[in-house]
Structure 1
Amino acid sequence: MRPDLRDGLPPGRPLRLVAVHAHPDDETLATGLALAHHVEAGDDVHVVTCTLGEEGEVITPSLAALEGDGPALAEHRRGELDRAMGRLGVTHHLLGGTRPRWRDSGMAGSSAAAHPRAFAGADVGEAARALADLLQPLRADVVLTYDPWGGYGHPDHVQTHRVTARAVELLGEEVTGAAPALYVALVPASWAQEDRRWLRAHVPGGVRSPAGGTARVPDPDDPFPPGVVADDLVTHAVVDEGALPRQRAALAEHPTQVTLHEGWYTLSNDVAARLPGREGYAVWPASREALIRAQGEPPA
């Protein structure tokens, strides 16, 4: 069993934990189990969101007109995010204040990447300074974010990793003893394979999505995203099926992005993914060299 996120931290007081994410819903999809687990343990849990997801796809037919309307979709997703944070029981912050300094950059190659406020194009030092200033008064013990490849390569996820890693460095440079432990979210390959077997056994055929597509279970030989790594590269884990109801309740507040089923969900691509009650992490930057040897250089 891998150690949990309290590893090496002082016992006897609530843990202070902060997760940093790119868009609304990422917090619950990527780290929601850890957030729910630590809320239920009585810890002080926060989420920082870097953009309002202006470029997201909308899978709810009644809200389809929001897709492509950046300001309107941002406000709608802000509401979804606020409700999801209430379900998780965490304190929420937007990077840059009530009106985020940066916006969703869209997928790689999209026209949104050229927007002057696109987060993927932000100066890393400037964004890290803003994040460090937000983190410092929270006195976090632990910070969670994406791996260097952004889980599946979204430019804003990659940028969030860069910005968060630099912000934690700044805290260590400027305030002695103030740097929190930084963990990046990863999936052990054996878990990913188990999840695909579970999906094949539990996802019925012909399940339709709100937008009219059909849920698809990944084939056994489909490639995994770069966030799936060899088991020995995952140094820590949160395993708590009891926290799943809280994670599910938060996901249910993101209907423009997520369709929930019993034990699994789909996004706009209709590919079924499991909610397994466990999440893997690696301490950063100690794991950097091993991860890069295994997965190759992350995006520049």
Structure 2
Amino acid sequence: MNTPSLRPDADPVLRYLFVHAHPDDETLATGVALATLARAGHEVHVLTCTLGEEGEVIPPELAHLAADADDTLGPYRRGELRAAMSHLGVREHVLGEDPATHTGSAYRDSGMADTPANADPRSWVAADEAEAVAALREHMSDLAPDVVVTYDEHGGYLHPDHVTTHRRTRAAVAALPAQQRPRLYVVLSAQDEAAADRAWLPDVVDAAHGLTLLAAGEAYPPSVVDPALVTHEIVGDPADLAARDAALREHRTQVSVYDGGYYALSNDIAARLARADRFAALDPDTGALLPAPMAAEGAATLCEGRIVGLPAEGGR
């Protein structure tokens, strides 16, 4: 990739809102950006739409938490999220959480595509669309972020909750008055970097862990795109990456982090830990990705790892 790698400038200080579906998504998909922006002095928030109740549990001693056992994984993952964000200096919120006790949520994890959990009336995908969008819009209106970040239209890998989070976040931004709209960005991965990561893994993954290595020719998730579509990136320095790694280790029900720079989910497929997070600006009205020149105009902009084009009155 030819995108310059520049650390974000904290003058002026900006308010960021990252909207994710489940605890751990924020660190897996945007952990480098969260760490880098917070350490640079910006005000960074994560809003999580569900507690991830349907996730598979990796540690055997915690198997009783699963949805098909005690069904207490959600509150446990809420604690993991809180601990993870403490490493990053990020303020965390859960949609519909009790503000007094910081427990509960308005919506439940919908599970993977075509599973019975999709039909649960409490699930994020089954929720009333207008009510869910209104809840997100209200949160944005109260917080007044300069920048909102979420998944692209494919949700990374087509998880129903991720796709739904993209759609509703975009609708919530579009529903705000024009003068109150934050800039909207979506998370992307560049295919050249994804290919380089696959080529790197066989030389570093310890065979004793029993992890699967994907072959170079195997298909990529749909959010792995032509590098030309990636217009913004934040590259972490060693301190940022160390903070991200510490945060990810807190999500131990869902993620195994290994020395050497890689991790695996419950599917035991090895993946390289990101050194940078990449984005493109999105038009909330049309859903179209904005090319770099358009993305750099006007309000607060996450461009090439720093903020550009910010009007004088935009800082906090």
Q: TM-score, normalised by structure 2?
A: 0.84
Q: Report deviation, 1:50.
A: 0.3
| Aligned residue number for residue 107 of structure 1 | 112
Q: Report SS of the residue matched to 2:213.
A: coil
C-alpha RMSD over aligned residues:
2.1
Give yes or no for the alignment of 1:2 onto 2:7. no
Give yes or no for the alignment of 1:249 onto 2:280. no
Counterpart Cα distance in 2 of 1:85 and 1:55 = 21
| Aligned residue number for residue 87 of structure 2 | 87
Counterpart Cα distance in 1 of 2:165 and 2:26 = 12
| Aligned residue number for residue 184 of structure 1 | 186
Counterpart Cα distance in 2 of 1:206 and 1:42 = 41
Q: Is the 8 Å Cα contact of residues 186 and 282 (structure 2) preserved in structure 1?
A: yes
Q: Report SS of the residue matched to 1:33.
A: helix
Cα 1:241/1:275, change in 2 over 3 Å: farther
Counterpart Cα distance in 1 of 2:253 and 2:11 = 41
Q: Report SS of the residue matched to 1:168.
A: helix
**AA at the equivalent of 1:285:** D
Q: Report deviation, 1:124.
A: 2.5
Q: Is the 8 Å Cα contact of residues 5 and 236 (structure 1) preserved in structure 2?
A: no
Q: Report deviation, 1:30.
A: 0.6
Equivalent position to 2:135, from 130, 136, 140: 130
Counterpart Cα distance in 2 of 1:70 and 1:133 = 33
Q: Report deviation, 1:230.
A: 0.4
Q: Report deviation, 1:78.
A: 1.0
Counterpart Cα distance in 1 of 2:213 and 2:28 = 18
Deviation string 1:53-101 (CA, Å, 9 cap, x unpaired) is: 1100000010011112474111111111111111111111111123311
| Aligned residue number for residue 227 of structure 1 | 223
Question: Which stretch of structure 1 is more off in the superposition, 185-194 or 129-138?
Answer: 129-138
| Aligned residue number for residue 45 of structure 1 | 44
Equivalent position to 1:157, from 141, 159, 162: 162
Counterpart Cα distance in 1 of 2:272 and 2:111 = 25
- Listed as ranges, the matches of 1:200-279 within 5 Å are 200-207=202-209, 214-242=210-238, 243-262=240-259, 263-279=261-277
**AA at the equivalent of 2:17:** V
- Listed as ranges, the matches of 1:273-292 within 5 Å are 273-285=271-283, 288-289=287-288
Cα 1:41/1:104, change in 2 over 3 Å: same
Q: Is the 8 Å Cα contact of residues 124 and 162 (structure 1) preserved in structure 2?
A: no
Q: Is the 8 Å Cα contact of residues 37 and 44 (structure 2) preserved in structure 1?
A: yes
| Aligned residue number for residue 63 of structure 2 | 64
Q: TM-score, normalised by structure 1?
A: 0.88
Runs of 5+ unmatched residues, structure 1 = 208-213, 292-300
Q: Report SS of the residue matched to 1:157.
A: helix
Q: Report SS of the residue matched to 2:93.
A: strand
Counterpart Cα distance in 1 of 2:228 and 2:123 = 35
**AA at the equivalent of 1:53:** G
Cα 1:2/1:141, change in 2 over 3 Å: farther
Cα 1:240/1:15, change in 2 over 3 Å: same
Equivalent position to 1:169, from 174, 177, 181: 174
**AA at the equivalent of 2:250:** E
Q: Is the 8 Å Cα contact of residues 281 and 289 (structure 2) preserved in structure 1?
A: no
Q: Is the 8 Å Cα contact of residues 7 and 36 (structure 2) preserved in structure 1?
A: no
Identity %: 48
Q: Is the 8 Å Cα contact of residues 282 and 289 (structure 2) preserved in structure 1?
A: no
Q: Report SS of the residue matched to 2:180.
A: coil
**AA at the equivalent of 2:180:** A
Q: Report deviation, 1:218.
A: 1.1
Cα 1:137/1:3, change in 2 over 3 Å: farther
Aligned residues: 280
Q: Report deviation, 1:31.
A: 0.7
Runs of 5+ unmatched residues, structure 2 = 99-103, 291-316
Deviation string 1:103-152 (CA, Å, 9 cap, x unpaired) is: 00000111111111110122222111111111122221111111101100
